[in-house]
């Protein structure tokens, strides 16, 4: 999931396809491709580190050194393509440096890997993939801007016998693609659980709910998020849910809309129209922090004070943390990028060496929510975490994902101190 808005992506037709996470390990699901070899075929005796799993990674990056022999046994470039620099600061501030750190710790030299950014262009992302293959890439790691370019890159990689890892956002095409991300349905469930908890702690009785979904028109993850929170709040995975739906805590759904392309300004306009027409709305669910902030702006302009109308989010952005500490947002889902970066590099290193990833690393499957819109893919899914004022200091602040000094300048030292945060 891209932090902040996921507003990039040029797919115009509504495809509404999303990842549905399974629990079966599928370590050998891609083993039939032309460039897959057996563990002993590398000729060096290098093997996958014993016990390597999605739980092996931490902020120290120490596990990556265990992959040095596999790196030495492998061949070819690992090409990484990040999507843009405008929808979020994460790709510049976190993904690129964390990926570089992971590669370096695993024994890669600067000539063994290449990290590019598509700058929000499908054509550039595809051209970067073509260039990497021309330079001898044996593995591509790419975060697709949308389903169209994701499928194009997958097909290009498969036609050249190159392994593909869809990073953060799934590509449901072909038989030669892995997926590395956080458990997107679980992200949604955390949003739903956080929302319900907030209804009680903010004393919201007879909730009249409006839901602002993410860009289900371009992003498969957005469908999974909605399936997660809808299953908690409304008891099923329909998305969008029909107005008039009833759920837990006496909740009544006033409306449920998709925000095309994850564009925050569009989300703000959608909510403004709904709130103008339905002043009874006293609780909201949003798919990420950017949309939550768009809703909060509307509510503040209408004179709504803190801890009156809940909002939710994900991505643990600076703005989201400010809104949480100031009492306008219930919480946010934190997905530590340093875990995702190490996971992707570990999987790429195993594939580059011609070996089969262990089931503890490739621990799930992911498949389209809409039947017939793609194929199931083996997935390595990490565990997300709900963040609110009670644990902000020990999560996003401790990891330096959000600057304590910047946050405290925005909200005030006393507010930070109350949350145990020292600037």
Which neighbouring-strand residues pair with 284?
A: 210
Whole-angstrom CA distances from 146 to 12, 61, 298 are 10, 30, 29
- Total-model pTM: 0.84
Which neighbouring-strand residues pair with 20?
A: 367
What DSSP character marks residue 28?
T
pLDDT score, position 248: 81
Q: Using CA atoms, how far apart are residues 20 and 36, in angstroms rounded to an integer?
A: 26
In the numeric block, the tokens 């190490």 are attached to 342
| CB atoms closer than 10 angstroms to residue 302 | 12
Helix and strand numbers (H, E) in the chain are: 13, 13
Quickly name the fold that domain 19-182+336-383 has: Rossmann fold (3.40.50)
pLDDT score, position 40: 35
Q: Using CA atoms, how far apart are residues 234 and 418, in angstroms rounded to an integer?
A: 34
Which neighbouring-strand residues pair with 167?
A: 180
Torsion of CA 121, 123, 126, 130, to 10 degrees: -130
DSSP per residue, 329-390: ---EEE--HHHHHHHHHHHHHHHHTT-PPPTTTS-EEEEESSTTS---EEEEEEPPEEE-TT
| CB atoms closer than 10 angstroms to residue 67 | 27
Domain ranges in the chain with CATH number 3.40.50.2300: 19-182+336-383, 184-334+386-405
Q: Which two tokens stand for residue 84?
A: 């843009």
| CB atoms closer than 10 angstroms to residue 395 | 17
Q: Are 293 and 319 spatial neighbours (Cβ–Cβ below 8 Å)?
A: yes
In the numeric block, the tokens 């891609």 are attached to 30
By CB atoms closer than 10 A (0-12, 13-18, 19+), residue 317 is buried
| CB atoms closer than 10 angstroms to residue 300 | 12
Strand order in the sheet with 177-182: 19-21, 364-368, 377-382, 177-182, 163-167, 137-142, 77-82, 113-117
Q: Using CA atoms, how far apart are residues 38 and 60, in angstroms rounded to an integer?
A: 31
| CB atoms closer than 10 angstroms to residue 109 | 9
Q: Using CA atoms, how far apart are residues 344 and 178, in angstroms rounded to an integer?
A: 10
Q: Which two tokens stand for residue 301?
A: 């302009």
Which among 92, 99, 137 is positioned nearest to 117, based on CA atoms?
Answer: 92
Q: Which residues contact 244 (CB under 8 A, 6 or more apart)?
A: 252, 253
Q: Which two tokens stand for residue 259?
A: 């925000």
Q: Are 313 and 329 spatial neighbours (Cβ–Cβ below 8 Å)?
A: yes
Q: Which two tokens stand for residue 198?
A: 């907030």
What's the angle, vertex CA 229, arms to CA 281 and CA 235, rounded to 5?
90
Quickly name the fold that domain 184-334+386-405 has: Rossmann fold (3.40.50)
Q: Using CA atoms, how far apart are residues 88 and 93, in angstroms rounded to an integer?
A: 9
Q: Using CA atoms, how far apart are residues 393 and 72, in angstroms rounded to an integer?
A: 39
One pLDDT digit (tens) per residue for the chain, 423 residues: 444 433 333 222 222 233 333 333 333 334 433 333 333 344 457 899 999 999 999 999 999 999 999 999 999 999 999 999 876 778 999 999 999 999 999 999 999 999 999 999 999 999 999 999 999 999 999 999 988 999 999 999 999 999 999 999 888 877 779 999 999 999 999 999 999 999 999 999 999 999 999 999 878 889 999 999 999 999 999 999 999 999 988 999 999 999 998 999 999 999 999 999 999 999 999 999 999 999 999 999 999 999 999 999 999 999 999 999 999 999 999 999 999 999 999 999 999 999 999 999 999 998 776 666 678 889 999 999 999 999 999 999 999 999 999 999 999 999 999 999 999
| CB atoms closer than 10 angstroms to residue 99 | 26
Pairing of strands 19-21, 364-368: antiparallel
Q: Using CA atoms, how far apart are residues 77 and 114, in angstroms rounded to an integer?
A: 7
pLDDT score, position 5: 36
pLDDT score, position 44: 55
**CA 376 to chain CA centroid, nearest Å:** 18
Q: Using CA atoms, how far apart are residues 137 and 132, in angstroms rounded to an integer?
A: 5
What percentage of the chain's residues is helix, strand, coil (to nearest 5)? 40, 15, 45
């Amino acid at each position: 999931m891209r932090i902040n808005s996921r507003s990039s992506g040029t797919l115009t037709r509504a495809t509404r396809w999303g990842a549905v996470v399974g629990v079966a390990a599928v370590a050998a699901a891609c083993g039939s491709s032309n460039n897959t070899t057996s563990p002993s075929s590398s000729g060096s005796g290098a093997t996958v580190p014993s016990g390597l799993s999605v739980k092996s990674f931490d902020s120290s990056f120490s596990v990556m050194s265990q992959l040095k022999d596999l790196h030495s046994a492998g061949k070819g470039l690992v090409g990484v393509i990040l999507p843009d620099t405008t929808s979020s600061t994460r790709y510049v501030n976190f993904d690129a440096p964390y990926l570089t750190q992971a590669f370096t710790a695993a024994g890669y030299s600067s000539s063994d890997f290449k990290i590019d950014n598509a700058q929000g262009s499908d054509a550039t992302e595809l051209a970067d993939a073509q260039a990497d293959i021309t330079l001898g890439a044996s593995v591509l790691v790419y975060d697709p801007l949308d389903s169209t370019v994701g499928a194009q890159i997958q097909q290009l990689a498969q036609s050249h016998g190159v392994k593909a890892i869809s990073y953060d956002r799934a590509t449901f095409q072909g038989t030669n693609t892995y997926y590395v991300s956080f458990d997107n349905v679980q992200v949604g469930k955390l949003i739903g659980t956080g929302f319900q908890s907030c209804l009680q702690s903010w004393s919201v009785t007879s909730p009249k709910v409006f839901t602002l979904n993410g860009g289900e028109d371009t992003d498969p993850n957005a469908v999974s998020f909605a399936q997660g929170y809808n299953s908690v709040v409304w008891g099923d995975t329909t998305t969008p849910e029909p107005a008039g739906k009833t759920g837990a805590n006496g909740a009544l759904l006033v409306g449920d809309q998709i925000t095309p392309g994850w564009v925050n300004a569009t989300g703000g306009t959608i909510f403004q129209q709904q709130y103008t027409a339905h002043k009874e709305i006293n609780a909201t669910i949003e798919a990420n922090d950017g949309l939550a902030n768009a809703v909060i702006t509307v509510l503040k302009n209408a004179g709504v004070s803190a801890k009156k109308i809940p909002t939710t989010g994900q991505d643990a952005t600076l703005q989201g943390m400010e809104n949480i500490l100031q009492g306008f947002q219930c919480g946010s889902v934190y997905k530590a990028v340093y875990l995702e970066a190490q996971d992707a590099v570990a999987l790429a290193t195993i594939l580059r060496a011609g070996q089969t990833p262990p089931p503890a690393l490739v621990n799930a499957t992911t498949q389209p929510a809409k039947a017939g819109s793609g194929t199931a893919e083996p997935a390595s899914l990490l565990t997300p975490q709900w963040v609110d004022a009670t644990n902000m200091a020990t999560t996003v602040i401790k990891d330096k994902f959000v600057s304590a000094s910047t946050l405290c300048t925005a909200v005030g030292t006393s507010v930070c101190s109350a949350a145990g945060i020292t600037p």
